[in-house]
Amino acid sequence: MKDLLNVLIVGAGSIGGLKPNEFDSPTNHSKILTHCHAVKFLEEKKHLKLTGIVEPNLEKLCEVKLKWNISEGYITIDEYLKTSNYADIITIASPTITHYEIVKQILLSEKKPKIIILEKPGGYNLNECTLINNLSSEYKVPILINYIRRFNSHYQTIGNLLKSGFYGKILNASLCYTRGLKRDCCHAIDIFNWFFGDFTSGQSLSYSNLIDDYDTNDLTEPFYLQYENCPHVFLRPCDGRKGSIFEIDIIAEKARIIFVDNGTKINIHNVQKEKIWGDYSVIPSECKTIINNEFTIDLINVYKNAIDYLSSTGDIARKKLCCTIDDALNVYKIIDNLRYEE
Ligand SMILES: NC(=O)c1ccc[n+]([C@@H]2O[C@H](COP(=O)([O-])OP(=O)(O)OC[C@H]3O[C@@H](n4cnc5c(N)ncnc54)[C@H](O)[C@@H]3O)[C@@H](O)[C@H]2O)c1
């Protein structure tokens, strides 16, 4: 029997392990929305074993151990590092402000894992993300970043089609977003970096009416970006206190692709001959809709990517990681370019 890879998860919050059962439950694998659930699912398939969890809140620690049947619980990462247990994969799903210190503690210890899975955005700011990247290079431990859309097959297909020129030249894109450039908009910047080639320039569109709808240190603001393969990208801010929105709209020569409802629905509008007035083409309101894109299995793909990467050593070329600390760094470089970071 092959050796299972042991996994330790750090942080038992909303994405780590504790969503209400109606959203994420050990008995319903049709929706897998936490790291604990994804690892448990792959434990059943005999790929991984969830061996431990780190959570400073005692009540949550007991709850998560019980919910996911995890044998070892630790209050701090230090406590884990002092035991004789070893995790091949360490997932960090604690608050962003803790990411750098936890990565540092792990990588300076004797118990370096084979890979770290780090929640987006990967450190609290550009400086921390750079330090994490340096540690990863120095100690040769790769870091897989969970920008979840990178692991979704529909995004992968559309990204490949856009990059191959299937939809013609990309003409413009926009994002309507709430809850901060760093917290929510970072997902879109990562997608633009992925789909549009090199970032070439960016600027703020206003220094007034900035929106404080989630975190005073991370305002929701209007920006304009330019990329090698997309000349105009607009980031449109919206006040998210009454309702959040995250919608990406990409217009290319042959189609308009709109990711609505947080990207859970993708509408593709193909350019057609105009039917009423004459001999020109239009982008119609009618569209082909891709549904069932609720990111319900993509966390499994994060772990499968890590497993494939780790199992493809030796003579076989290493499988590529879908999203690395370099990708997280590229997002932060843009955020930093757009506004002064604290
Ligand atoms: N990839 C995505 O789509 C996505 C979605 C949501 C959140 N996130 C990211 O995941 C991370 C966690 O977000 P969340 O919404 O689950 O937060 P959360 O506040 O619900 O959970 C964080 C948990 O970590 C625990 N914690 C605090 N300090 C810790 C420490 N030093 N060591 C271990 N655990 C500690 C907290 O007690 C809490 O239980 C953030 O970095 C966030 O940006 C990513």
At 141-154, the pLDDT tens digits run 999 999 999 999 99
Ligand 1 in contact with 17 (CB < 6 A)? no
For the ranges 98-102, 155-159, 177-181, 316-320, the lowest mean pLDDT is seen at 316-320
Q: Which of 119, 244, 296, 322 is the pocket-test mutation for ligand 1 (most atoms within 8 Å of CB)? A: 119
Residue 21: CB atoms within 10 A of its CB come to: 11
Ligand 1 in contact with 14 (CB < 6 A)? yes
Task: Say if residue 31's pLDDT is above 70.
Answer: yes
Q: How confident is the model at residue 341 (pLDDT cuts 50, 70, 90)?
A: very low
**Distances in Å between the alpha carbon of 297 and those of 114, 148, 151?**
23, 10, 9
Ligand 1 in contact with 6 (CB < 6 A)? no
The rounded radius of gyration (Å) of the Cα atoms in the chain is 21
Name the residue ranges covered by the structural domains of the chain.
5-148+298-324, 153-294
Report d(CA 222, CA 203) in Å as an integer. 9
The answer to whether domain 5-148+298-324 and domain 153-294 are alike in fold is no
Classify 226 in phi/psi space as left (phi over 0), alpha (psi -120 to 50) or beta.
beta
CATH topology of domain 5-148+298-324: Rossmann fold (3.40.50)
The ligand 1 atom at the shortest distance from the C-alpha of residue 121 is: 43
Instruction: Quote the pLDDT of residue 318.
Output: 72
Report d(CA 259, CA 107) in Å as an integer. 38
The ligand 1 atom at the shortest distance from the C-alpha of residue 96 is: 41
Record the tokens describing residue 291, joined without a space. Answer: 């549904």
Asked if 128 and 101 count as a contact pair (C-beta separation under 8 A), the reply is no
Angle between helices 298-311 and 35-44 (to 10 degrees): 60
CATH superfamily, domain 153-294, is Dihydrodipicolinate Reductase; domain 2 (3.30.360.10)
Ligand 1 in contact with 306 (CB < 6 A)? no
At 88-114, the pLDDT tens digits run 999 999 999 999 999 999 999 999 999
31, containing H or E segment? none
Residue 203: CB atoms within 10 A of its CB come to: 11
Amino acid at 133: N
Backbone angles phi, psi at 175, to 5 degrees: -130, 130
